[in-house]
Amino acid sequence: MAPRKQKHWNILAAISILLAAVLAVSGISELDVSRVPSRDALRLASSSRALTTDSRRLPSDGWTSLRGQLLSDRETTTDQQALEDAKFHIQAGVYATSTYDLDLSIPSYSSNGYVWLRWDEAMQQYLKDQDQSIDERITLVNALLSDADPVLTPLVPKPVQQADGSYYQLFTYLGRFYIDKASFRHFPFVTVSLPLVLEMEDIEGSFDYTNLRFEADVQNSGMGLFAGIIGWLNRGWSIAEYRHNYATNFGLGGSADDYSLIVYDISFGTSAWSAFWRLMLPLLVVMAMVLLVFKVRADEQDARAGIPVTVLLTLVFLQQTYRDELPDLPFLTFLDQVYVVAYVVTLLAFVLVIYIGRRYGEMELMPEGAKREQIEQRLHRLDEIWPLTVVIFSSISIVLCWLTLPPGG
């Protein structure tokens, strides 16, 4: 009668846990706040660019330095005509001499290098009428406030007129900049884009997309000897003009304004082998302890029960260590999902240890006979199939976690 009563209570406990899980998921779903997307948008312009958009050349995680959407063929033709009809033209080039102090927890980086601008007579006449220099109107859009505000510093006080009638001026830049694009979902296999974004300040509405167009100096832009970051693999640089649609008219009246801007960036990625040895291998070693928990002698119940508890504490410590490198993300990274699988396996191991321990305790009270032998064989079978079950379950779960990640993000 006692075993039947115990079985009844076990069923009630399982139903209670399931009900609690359902209520928890329902409550969290109600409390969770959906993300409101920015109304600003970028569209890749049709001017010359150095940018990888061919899917055949993209990494396996779908990473690309492209921001926003590509123009359709019809939009490209219209945009080319708009480029020719624009009143003001500025050619911009960027050469990063060094990048450093990459901080994924913000995320941001520091950089210095050169920016050069070449503009036409119409722009020069406008600046002369306004009694301004061009660097007073150029803004570094993704610059972050720090001890010293990022600025463009001219190397010569006045622009130099070229033989073709255009005006040229070289600047240095130095500052800390915000990172807008990184594949955090694939962590620890991460690719980050370190951008420098140039845009014209528009005070009276003279420099919108129809009037002023940037053009990237693809041939001369690039990165210098010290533009790499130790511990990261360089995936190359890109530079392109984008059409920036603001969700405001800045109080000038009319519809929302579009502006031309230049995005220069350098992409860096982690080494897959380095990420594996540093973050994945310790996890595999810890989970091997769970895998072998039932290889401990059956009469060593205390040792068996202690292994899942020790593993659980180790998992919490390991996860907290790598989470300190990342910003607070509204989603689970690939490594987070792997840890969820590890937590589930550890919990199952602990539940089985308790179950098998109780069955062995009941078996000791039974007289010798076929029923006792049948229970002993069943428990022995559980010990044997546990490692294979864990390997199959974990492998399938981790593969599904990777395949369901959105590409590039």
Q: What is the pLDDT of residues 302-327, one digit of tens each?
A: 777 788 888 899 999 999 988 888 88
Q: Are 242 and 199 in contact (CB under 8 A)?
A: no
Which of 59-68, 86-95, 99-108 is predicted with the least confidence, judged by mean pLDDT?
59-68
Cα–Cα nearest to 331, from 183, 194, 142, 193: 183
pLDDT band at 5 (very low <50, low <70, confident <90, very high): low
Residue 260: alpha-carbon gap to chain centroid: 26
Start-end of H helices in 53-95: 73-85
pLDDT on residue 327: 86
Locate 158 and state its tokens. Answer: 């006045």
**H and E: helices and strands count for the chain:** 8, 13
pLDDT on residue 8: 62
pLDDT band at 1 (very low <50, low <70, confident <90, very high): very low
Q: Are 64 and 52 in contact (CB under 8 A)?
A: yes
Residue 188 has pLDDT above 60, yes or no: yes
pTM of the model: 0.80
Domains of the chain, with CATH numbers?
A: 41-269 (2.70.170.10), 274-403 (1.20.58.390)
Residue 258 has pLDDT above 90, yes or no: no
Rounded mean pLDDT, 47-62: 64
pLDDT band at 352 (very low <50, low <70, confident <90, very high): confident
Higher pLDDT, 48 or 175: 175
Residue 262 has pLDDT above 80, yes or no: yes
- Residue 269's φ and ψ, nearest 5 degrees, are -130, 155
Mean pLDDT of the chain: 83
Rounded mean pLDDT, 144-152: 72
pLDDT on residue 117: 94
pLDDT on residue 364: 64
Question: What does each C-alpha distance from 394 to 202, 303, 343, 391, 401 come to in angstroms?
Answer: 56, 24, 11, 5, 10
Start-end of H helices in 106-198: 121-130
Residue 252 has pLDDT above 80, yes or no: no
Rounded mean pLDDT, 160-169: 91
Give the integer Cα–Cα distance in Å for 283 and 398.
13
pLDDT tens per residue, range 264-295: 999 898 888 888 899 999 999 998 888 887 77
- CB count within 10 Å of CB 143 equals 17
Rounded mean pLDDT, 229-233: 88
Q: Are 237 and 264 in contact (CB under 8 A)?
A: yes
Give the integer Cα–Cα distance in Å for 404 and 400.
6
Three-class SS of residue 352?
Answer: helix
> Any idea what DSSP says for residue 244?
E
Q: Are 118 and 247 in contact (CB under 8 A)?
A: no
pLDDT tens per residue, range 79-96: 888 888 889 999 999 999
Question: What does each C-alpha distance from 15 to 7, 10, 19, 348, 351 come to in angstroms?
Answer: 12, 9, 6, 17, 15
